[in-house]
Chain A
């Protein structure tokens, strides 16, 4: 936003005509920074600064800038609006209002912000005056270094050893492929189980009632449900079973298909 004010200077002659105030916006870091600079020019301790006077100076500056038809960044205008409001609050008698801060409280808040920013600006220049490494103080120019010796440690488990041997062994030999029997329930298993019931399911009965009792674990149970459902579709297709499900995810019911019932 500073480029708006490039090389712009203005003289602000105080009401008492003694202090000549030079405002150079080039290089200001925003309205608070500018207010802080105006405050410094009052040459009093920030603790005793007259916020009212500061607000007036700021507003005067904005007014002058407007006269010169300078484009002013929004931040500065918002600050001007706020300061104008603050000024009115400071000048007018306070109304009883619990929700809003009083004029003096608002002025205190601004004074605090100015003091805090000033403190940080000073702190910044103090930090930059500390002796700096590589500028004022130096570290060892030619550190010999600490030599790091890496000793490799190889870890191999018997399992890895045997696995390597096994992998290698099976690479060369053409063993017949043995498929381990699975504990999963096949569609054939389900068909076998459902067939005896065919023609005997007179009323709608839940799919679950047709499942074997001794189910070992969840995965197997799921496979049984899936296989039984697949088998029931098969049976329905061949006209031996009717299936009903009223809604998605709701229970599935079977019933024997009775001849000529339709």
Chain B
């Protein structure tokens, strides 16, 4: 049964040090406010999973929340590199960062296996690449009918899956639309789940292309208007492309980053509603 919570309460109830945590959202509906709340609560040693660890994971890594990153593409989309991510991998700053690296198809199938209650998934993937050599969660499997060799990837079942959606109703049923990425799979694969939403409405009005998560499949819902900024929430606000540009010089410099962290995350009380 999903319960409507304040963001800070939900994060403190659901996310603990050392947890495997997935914040998903493919360009659209990235749960940024929830990520900042995790930083604010000082969580440590997290294994952070995300197909596209962009600015929000750069921030969480820079803030020292992560022990390990599980991912398939780590960049600032349309801008360039993630400098906190690079600094952590290349110079162990602020703490060493272990990585587990996949392709998008591999990560998507790992969440799908997790959501399906299977220990692994099969795909035509990774053939001829150097990734399997460095990633233990990729193996080869043989088709029992044709003998063909394919890739197998192990399931991801995070302790906590966090996504952002446009709406929930007062009972905690969730609706999102537009590009919905791998969010349904993330919630269904996770032991506990948190959905931040733009607004809580009396009734969810069915929409073309919407994905609905019934309340009993979600642990907690928190109303956080603007909770996906600087990414976007279709029907609510556009992507703040300038923010992604402005992040580049901040992320490049440890001191500027620390200053940003102090003024924009640690010493503000965002989100509680």
Indicate, yes or no, whether A interacts with B.
no
Residues of A within 8 A of B (CB): none
